[in-house]
Amino acid sequence: MKAKNNSIRLPERLLISRSYTTSESNKTGSWRYLMPRYYEKTAPCSVACPAAEDIGRIQMLNTQGFFKEAWDTILVENPFPAVCGRICFHPCEKVCNRGRFDEAVSIRALERFVADTAQRYKLTSGIEPMAFTGKRIAVVGAGPAGLAAAHFLHLLGYDCHVFEALPEPGGILRWGLPRYRLPLAALQPEIERIRNSGVSIYCGQAVGRDFLHSAGETYGAVFMACGAQRMPLLRIPGEDLPGISEGLAFLCSVAQGGGPGFQGTAAVIGGGNTAVDVARCLRRLGARAMIIYRRRREDMPAFAEEIELALLEGVELLELYAPIRIEKEGNGLRLTLQQMKIGAMGADGRMRVVPDENRIRELTVDQVFKAIGFEAAEPWHVPEAGAVSHLKLRQAVLTQGANSVPVVYCGDPVTEIQSVVHAVASAKEGAMALHVLLTGGTAAVAETLAAAAVGPGGSLSMEAFLKGERLNRSSHVVAYEEINIDHFQYAPRMIQPRLLQAERVASFAEIDLKISAGMAIREAERCFNCGLCNQCDNCRLFCPDLAVRQEDSKRGRRIDYDYCKGCGICVVECPRNAMVLEEEQDS
Amino acid sequence: MVSGHVGCAGCGAAIAMRFFLQALGNQAIMVMPACCWSIIAGSYPMSSLRIPLIHTAFETGGAVASGVRAALDMKGDTQTTVVTWAGDGGTFDIGFQALSGAVERNEDFIYVCYDNEAYMNTGVQRSSSTPYGAWTTTTPGREWKRMRKKNIVEALVAHRIPYAATASIAYPQDLMAKVAKAKAIKGSRFLHIFASCPTGWRIPSELSVKIARMAVQTNIFPLYEVENGVKYTINLSPKGYLVREYFKLQGRFKHLSDQDLSEIQNMVNEDWNLLLRKAGLPQVQGEHM
Amino acid sequence: MKQVLEGSHAVAEAVRLAKVQVISAYPITPQTHIVERLSDYCADGTIKARFLRVESEHSALAVMIGAASTGMRTFTATSSQGLALMHELLHWSSGARLPIVMAEVNRALAPGWNIWADQTDSLSQRDTGWIQLYCETGQEVLDTTLLAFRLAEAVNLPVMVVLDAFFLSHTYEPVDIPSQAQVDEFLPPIIPRIQLDPANPCALNQLSPPNIYMEMRYQIHLVMQAALSELEKFEGDFERIFGRRYGAVEPFLCQDAEIILVTSGTITSTSRQFVLDQRAQGEKIGVLKVKLFRPFPVEAVRGYLKNARKVGVIDRNFSFGAGGIFAQEVRAALYGLARRPPVFGFIAGLGGRDVTLESLGEILTRLKTLKRPDPESIWIGLQEVQLAGPKS
Ligand SMILES: Cc1cc2nc3c(=O)[nH]c(=O)nc-3n(C[C@H](O)[C@H](O)[C@H](O)COP(=O)(O)OP(=O)(O)OC[C@H]3O[C@@H](n4cnc5c(N)ncnc54)[C@H](O)[C@@H]3O)c2cc1C
Ligand SMILES: Cc1ncc(C[n+]2csc(CCOP(=O)(O)OP(=O)(O)O)c2C)c(N)n1
Ligand code: SF4
Ligand SMILES: [Mg+2]
């Protein structure tokens, strides 16, 4: 007998646990209660830079070898990278977060590298100025403030005529700064670039006081950038004896052709950059140079690094000595110096110095140079108190007389610190303020400028003013604690190659030598790029949910919120705090 | 690997898989014993992986892979890499026998243990990979684990396999380089990948990678590799963080006293010196080692 | 070609002829002769297969799972403790629908250690989803092994070929070994329906939530049922090529029998002799050998047993707290019939004790004298035991 069966047929297809689709239909974004977002922030260096240079971004471009782009990025904020890359006192480096990790990034050296590279390849800037406004503006003085003002005004769509009393433009950069710090070859292309961009510079054209009144016929506004080159009096007996000269005039003659050979001993009175430069020039000319300063070395307004170099070059420093009288003695001069001592703390936070009893010292020298700071040469170089509208900005002053065009004062006479980058910042602020005034009226100035501020420091960004990408950043200044230092390796700061010590005093050749592109890139790589996305890709790399996608955009990636669970790893693993994690908004 | 998987937010095991597959490519067959990844890989009919994958019983990682390899050998397929992807439980504990058997036979496959230091799939129970001092749901309260973590790499090294290495989700380059290296070698290869688990370790999800990195930096989980059971290479000299900084961040260790922590620091130092000796490097002294 | 072979070697010959591709096993008495012979064959190239000498039965079956999931024809063999160790993976293999073939030598489970024949090891795996075929002779072992591959690959379920320890595994009998050409005709190369393949990636055995798990199980149930007719079909093919046929059940003089003994494995052979002896004395007695235990051939069992006056099931196995396992199955099969014979359960030969003609005589006496199956299982040949040693 055959076994009967209930004749069940074999199913044609296997029903087994075998996948035939992907898990992409699970929209895990619904789990999220915290939301990561790309949100760039502000680097401390760019806040400390009076010109608000976008330093983090510049270094990012440098690391990629995008030197031209780095250069353009500087030029929007500062037309003098070759100058500032050499002689700026780099407040940026003092606040560099990297300094807390190992050593600050050599921001200034990198700026110089970028500028030199642009000059070597004769690059032209790719920045497009705004459409011509139809307005023409007069700029008085072709120092860094005046030239920068013309540069920014040109960007904003104005036609500029710059008037300069001296035969060549550049102001102190041309006539005051010694060549071993700022060679002409570095300065001139910067000025040429401004000129070539369409700014007219008229040299040998000293402008008189009346111009402020007559300018309205031709110009929509006047920029006053005459600098401050008048030396105040020492107010001591004998200060006008022959053999006593002004430091700046001396530097000017050196700048014009090497200056007189000089064998003897010279005393330089003062503690600023002029004093130090005069002393160092004297060393190069063969003299023994002594700086006499009434306070201590650390109180000197001159840049610490310059003092250091000066001492290495054999300049002597007499701290805490105030000259009280100068007398003729034979062919030389006898200085009587009052020994000073530290007194109470002054209202400005500096230590006061007071005479130390009657301790006196006498010193006989062959020549004396006065270098004790500067003030405006003419009263009308500074803003008139009686103007109808008088807008005191941080680094500039905007006035409008009853029947005259607006006048903007910028540069040395009005800046908080007398430096090139302050002159640039001042010119930028003035240009922006003027532009707002001409387009939106005085009332809009404060608010519009505040919108272009970088961080809380008040440095203004032209890129932000022009509604560029920087505007999208948070004004939050990235603190060192917010850097994920795990992603950085210790690496010492680059060592600036220099002339040998013996070579330095032997000529006026530039002391700081150029650096290689490799060195520059390595140094730029040390930059944390605080707050800025440098495309490191960590967010995408570490995302457990593959919710960070590559895309064809400037950032190169986006968060796919369909899947992002909000774990926050991307935000923590962003080495530079270019992201935020926020509460999910209920929709 | 695709999005939409159901790993917890911040799951280190998911990151481990990403890096691993990125370096390995798609010409592979993966064997997966029971573990969190059994869930992450997707439930019927979905898969979150783009390579063929066979889920298998908890303790069979070494053996099922041997079978797959044997099948490929029979087919003359020399291109496909067979991979076992198992948790620490499936490796250190229940799957240890099959693993030991497979590598003793020098089966031609890569065995990856992603280590989250407990049985997470079943709700954070202790495994022999759970570190000394840790809370788990089976080492609760004052019964926190007082046994040291099994040194699985050394156990594998004792089999004299061609390649054994540690790796961490916090060091993707190192991890991927090791995968690439392992891929090129024939025979049994073992990768021990440290993969943090926010859920089981009681840590904020965003610190998942950071904590994995600290495990390396403290020498708790050194990155090294051993070739043919003899040639030791330490891949990274850590910055020398203190163990307590690593412990401080994690809920599973919050009951430990300063005394406990310094004992643990000593254990870590001891282990590190042991490793240095094997690598033929000089011993180090002091707290920051 | 006839050869005098051990039952174990009959398995090995079938595996050779089946051109198995991956073999893995772990030694356990009395399965060792199968493994050793296959090892030799693989070593000398007689079989072109990968043979994995793994570290446990668990891993042996795991290897099968890996290889079968990659499309291979696979074979393993075990016994007793080894099978028990495989338990988890027995479920796994069937749930994964893998056509794995296993030779299982029935051996008693410890403790105490006992290496002799007993079916409890395989029968306690009855719910694992494996098809189970019990063999009586060396020839049947060889033939069933070939059939097992054909059936497994057709229905995508694993098949266990079961043979008694020593009585079959170590007993030499003349066996007709078919030619390779014949076997090739009967058993073409595997066409895998499940295959891990980087060119067509998919995940196998994934998490299957309640919304689908039950349907998957239901399909296994359907396939198990279909296996009955599939087996019949393949036996037809087999008979055509080899001239032999077994059937899910095999009746021996059951037609007019008033008493039918239900047996499996080698006890059947003794029972055949016993029936012949009893028939000579005028007893209307027959034997129904159950070969296919899973799926249980309910209809066939009913057909052969429904007209008997009494049915005696001889079980070399026991389910503690219940009874002999074949007896339970037979009772359950007959339960649906309006008129059904009483089923008496006899437990005999556990742990390799001989089931002799005398044992069967005792069974027949009991069958004739007892009215009702009460108690449900009657233990045959129990001796009086003197308890000695420490109390408690
Ligand atoms: C010796 C020295 C060293 C210095 N070193 C550094 C340094 O290392 N780093 C740094 O950042 N800063 C340094 N400074 C300061 C820096 O040079 C000045 O802050 C900066 O040049 C100011 O720029 P400015 O345009 O306001 O003025 P200036 O550079 O003084 O330019 C003013 C220009 O206006 C012209 N002018 C004046 N009156 C008229 C007029 N009526 N009509 C037409 N033109 C007129 C002048 O001829 C001059 O060219 C240094 C200064 C000196 C003196
Ligand atoms: C034989 C067996 N015992 C227990 C389990 C339950 N189980 C599944 S996963 C798991 C823990 C897995 O731990 P691990 O391997 O460390 O992987 P994890 O989940 O932590 O990623 C356990 C205990 C099982 N699946 N099989
Ligand atoms: S429990 Fe841990 S390992 Fe498992 S999915 Fe969650 S985070 Fe990952
Ligand atoms: Mg685990």
> Is a pLDDT exceeding 90 seen at residue A10?
no
- Report how far residue B238's alpha carbon sits from residue B208's, in angstroms, rounded to the nearest whole number: 18
CB A110 within 8 A of CB A59: yes
The answer to whether the bond into C375 is cis (omega within 30° of 0) is yes
Burial class of residue C282 in the structure, from the number of CB atoms within 10 Å of its CB (0-12 exposed, 13-18 middle, 19+ buried): exposed
Are C235 and C255 within one domain?
no
> Is a pLDDT exceeding 90 seen at residue C26?
yes
A458 inside domain: no
Report how far ligand 4's centroid is from the alpha carbon of B26 (Å): 25
> Is a pLDDT exceeding 50 seen at residue B268?
yes
Give the end of a domain, one of C215, C242, C269: C242
C392 inside domain: no
Confidence (pLDDT) at A1: 39
Kindly list the residues from chain A whose CB atom is less than 8 angstroms away from the CB atom of residue C69: none
Per-position DSSP letters for B199-231, written without gaps between them: HHHT--GGGHHHHHHHHHHTTSS--EEEETTTE
Interface of C with A in 188-217 (CB under 8 A): 193-194, 202-208, 212, 215-216
pLDDT tens readout for residues A36-49: 999 999 999 999 99
Kindly list the residues from chain C whose CB atom is less than 8 angstroms away from the CB atom of residue B68: 66-67, 69-70, 196
What the block records as the tokens of C203 is 């995940």
Q: Within 13 A of C372's CA, how many CA atoms are on the CB side?
A: 2
Question: How many structural domains is chain A composed of?
Answer: 4
- Report how far residue C378's alpha carbon sits from residue C164's, in angstroms, rounded to the nearest whole number: 22
SS3 A525: helix
Residue to test with chain A: of B209, B210, B217, most A Cβ within 10 A = B209
Average pLDDT over residues B137-145: 96
Distances (CA, A) of A436 to A398, A460, B126, C207: 11, 14, 68, 66
pLDDT tens readout for residues C76-127: 999 999 999 999 999 999 999 999 999 999 999 999 999 999 999 999 999 9
CB C211 within 8 A of CB C94: no
Q: What is the CATH number for C150?
A: 3.40.50.970
Confidence of residue A5 (pLDDT cuts 50, 70, 90): very low
B11 lines ligand 3 (CB under 6 A): yes
Are C46 and C121 within one domain?
yes
A396 inside domain: yes
Confidence (pLDDT) at B242: 86
H/E element holding A83? helix A81-87
pLDDT tens readout for residues B13-46: 999 999 999 999 999 999 999 999 999 999 999 9
> Is a pLDDT exceeding 70 seen at residue A504?
yes
Burial class of residue A244 in the structure, from the number of CB atoms within 10 Å of its CB (0-12 exposed, 13-18 middle, 19+ buried): middle
Q: Within 13 A of C194's CA, how many CA atoms are on the CB side?
A: 33
Task: Give backbone dihedrals phi and psi of A440, rounded to 5 degrees, phi first.
Answer: -130, -5
Q: What are the residues facing A291 on neighbouring strands? A: A268, A317
Confidence of residue C316 (pLDDT cuts 50, 70, 90): very high
Are C69 and C214 within one domain?
yes
Per-position DSSP letters for C33-98, written without gaps between them: HHHHHHHHHHHTTSS-SEEEE-SSHHHHHHHHHHHHTTT--EEEEE-HHHHHHHHHHHHHHHHTT-
Residue to test with chain A: of C156, C196, C229, most A Cβ within 10 A = C229
C163 inside domain: yes
* For helices A107-120 and A55-63, angle between their N-to-C axes, nearest 10 degrees: 60
Size of interface A-B (CB pairs under 8 A): 106
B212 lines ligand 3 (CB under 6 A): no
Does the beta-carbon distance from A10 to C225 stay under 8 Å? no
- Cα radius of gyration rounded to whole Å, chain B: 18
Are C41 and C144 within one domain?
yes
Confidence (pLDDT) at A214: 87
Q: Cβ atoms within 10 A of the Cβ of A34, count? A: 19
Task: Tell me the residue length of chain C.
Answer: 392
C305 touches chain A (CB under 8 A): no
- Report how far residue C363's alpha carbon sits from residue C345's, in angstroms, rounded to the nearest whole number: 10
Q: What are the residues facing C77 on neighbouring strands? A: C103
Are C292 and C370 within one domain?
yes
Which CATH number applies to B12-278: 3.40.50.300, 3.40.50.1220, 3.40.50.150, 3.40.50.970?
3.40.50.970
Please give the mean pLDDT across all residues of chain C: 97
Confidence (pLDDT) at C390: 85
Confidence (pLDDT) at B241: 81
pLDDT tens readout for residues C236-288: 999 999 999 999 999 999 999 999 999 999 999 999 999 999 999 999 999 99
- Report how far residue B63's alpha carbon sits from residue C57's, in angstroms, rounded to the nearest whole number: 10
What the block records as the tokens of A583 is 């509460």
Domain boundaries, chain B: 12-278
pLDDT tens readout for residues B118-132: 999 999 999 999 999
The sign of the dihedral angle between the CA atoms of A217, A219, A220, A225 is negative
The answer to whether the bond into A99 is cis (omega within 30° of 0) is no
Which range among B108-117, B240-249, C175-184 shows the weakest confidence by mean pLDDT? Answer: B240-249
- Report how far residue C311's alpha carbon sits from residue C372's, in angstroms, rounded to the nearest whole number: 11
pLDDT tens readout for residues A450-468: 999 998 888 999 999 999 9
> Percent of chain A, pLDDT > 90?
76
A12 inside domain: no
* Beta carbons within 8 Å of B256's beta carbon, 6+ residues apart: B133, B144, B247, B264
Direct distance between the N- and C-terminal alpha carbons of chain B, in angstroms, rounded to an integer: 38
Confidence (pLDDT) at A6: 55
Average pLDDT over residues B160-184: 98
CB A304 within 8 A of CB A328: no
Are A78 and A143 within one domain?
no
Give the end of a domain, one of C213, C242, C271: C242
Task: Give backbone dihedrals phi and psi of A465, rounded to 5 degrees, phi first.
Answer: -60, -35
Outline where DSSP puts E strands in A414-484: 453-454, 459-460
Average pLDDT over residues A384-391: 70
Determine the structural domain holding residue A64 and report its residue range.
44-125+476-525
Outline where DSSP puts E strands in A105-260: 136-140, 159-163, 200-202, 221-224, 244-246
- Residue of B258, B255, B259, B257 lying closest to B141 (CA atoms): B255
Q: Cβ atoms within 10 A of the Cβ of A410, count? A: 35
B200 lines ligand 3 (CB under 6 A): yes
> Percent of chain C, pLDDT > 90?
97
- Report how far residue A132's alpha carbon sits from residue A154's, in angstroms, rounded to the nearest whole number: 8
Q: Say what the ipTM of the complex is.
A: 0.96
* For helices A107-120 and A67-77, angle between their N-to-C axes, nearest 10 degrees: 110
Please give the mean pLDDT across all residues of chain A: 92
Confidence (pLDDT) at A375: 83
Confidence of residue A223 (pLDDT cuts 50, 70, 90): very high
CB A11 within 8 A of CB C220: no
Size of interface A-C (CB pairs under 8 A): 71
Report how far ligand 4's centroid is from the alpha carbon of B135 (Å): 14
Are C45 and C182 within one domain?
yes
- Report how far residue B80's alpha carbon sits from residue B78's, in angstroms, rounded to the nearest whole number: 6
Does the beta-carbon distance from B18 to A31 stay under 8 Å? no
Average pLDDT over residues B235-249: 88
Give the end of a domain, one of C242, C273, C307: C242
- Report how far residue B231's alpha carbon sits from residue B233's, in angstroms, rounded to the nearest whole number: 7
Are A323 and A292 within one domain?
yes
> Percent of chain C, pLDDT > 70?
100
Q: What are the residues facing A399 on neighbouring strands? A: A390, A407
Please give the mean pLDDT across all residues of chain B: 96
Are A544 and A572 within one domain?
yes
Confidence of residue A388 (pLDDT cuts 50, 70, 90): low
Confidence (pLDDT) at A2: 44
SS3 C282: coil
* Beta carbons within 8 Å of A445's beta carbon, 6+ residues apart: A391, A393, A398, A433, A436, A437
Average pLDDT over residues B140-166: 97
Confidence of residue A9 (pLDDT cuts 50, 70, 90): confident
B198 lines ligand 3 (CB under 6 A): yes
H/E element holding C250? strand C249-252
Pairing of strands A579-583, B46-47: unpaired
pLDDT tens readout for residues A161-187: 999 999 999 999 999 999 999 999 999
- Residue of A1, A462, A466 lying closest to C247 (CA atoms): A1
What the block records as the tokens of C372 is 């009702």
> Is a pLDDT exceeding 90 seen at residue A234?
no
Are C38 and C122 within one domain?
yes
Question: How many structural domains is chain C composed of?
Answer: 2
A417 inside domain: yes
C99 inside domain: yes
Nearest CA to ligand 3 atom 2: B197
Q: What are the residues facing B112 on neighbouring strands? A: B85, B191
Are A36 and A48 within one domain?
no
pLDDT tens readout for residues A395-448: 999 988 766 789 999 999 999 889 999 999 999 999 999 999 999 888 899 999
Confidence (pLDDT) at C287: 98
- Residue of C349, C143, C178, C142 lying closest to C266 (CA atoms): C349
SS3 A336: strand
Q: What are the residues facing A355 on neighbouring strands? A: A340
Task: Give backbone dihedrals phi and psi of A404, rounded to 5 degrees, phi first.
Answer: -125, 170
Are A393 and A334 within one domain?
no
> Is a pLDDT exceeding 70 seen at residue A387?
no
A460 inside domain: no
The answer to whether the bond into B45 is cis (omega within 30° of 0) is yes
Confidence of residue A380 (pLDDT cuts 50, 70, 90): confident
CB B34 within 8 A of CB B57: yes
- Check residues B18 and A534 and name the one with the higher pLDDT: B18
Confidence (pLDDT) at A276: 96
Q: What is the CATH number for A34?
A: 3.30.70.20
Does the beta-carbon distance from C206 to A4 stay under 8 Å? no
Average pLDDT over residues A551-561: 92
Q: Cβ atoms within 10 A of the Cβ of A290, count? A: 21
A457 inside domain: no
- Report how far residue C30's alpha carbon sits from residue C23's, in angstroms, rounded to the nearest whole number: 18
Are C286 and C232 within one domain?
no
Are A96 and A162 within one domain?
no
Where helices occur in chain C by DSSP H, the ranges are: 7-17, 32-43, 57-68, 80-95, 120-123, 138-155, 180-186, 210-242, 267-280, 298-305, 325-335, 357-369
> Is a pLDDT exceeding 70 seen at residue A260?
no
pLDDT tens readout for residues B190-207: 999 999 999 999 999 999
Q: Give the rounded distance of the alpha carbon of C148 from its chain centre.
A: 10
Where helices occur in chain B by DSSP H, the ranges are: 12-24, 36-40, 61-75, 88, 96-104, 152-157, 172-184, 198-201, 208-217, 243-248, 258-278
Confidence of residue A331 (pLDDT cuts 50, 70, 90): confident
The sign of the dihedral angle between the CA atoms of A299, A300, A301, A307 is negative
Are C262 and C234 within one domain?
no
Determine the structural domain holding residue C41 and report its residue range.
2-242
Are A403 and A348 within one domain?
no
What the block records as the tokens of A467 is 């509604």
Q: What is the CATH number for C341?
A: 3.40.50.920
> Is a pLDDT exceeding 90 seen at residue A391?
no
Confidence of residue A586 (pLDDT cuts 50, 70, 90): low
Q: Tell me which chain C residue has its CA closest to the CA of residue A2.
A: C300
Are C184 and C315 within one domain?
no
Are A213 and A285 within one domain?
no
Rounded to 5°, the CA angle A182-A183-A184 comes to 115
Nearest CA to ligand 3 atom 3: B197
Q: Within 13 A of B230's CA, how many CA atoms are on the CB side?
A: 1
Confidence (pLDDT) at A351: 82
Q: What is the CATH number for A169?
A: 3.50.50.60
DSSP state for residue C207 in the 8-state scheme = B
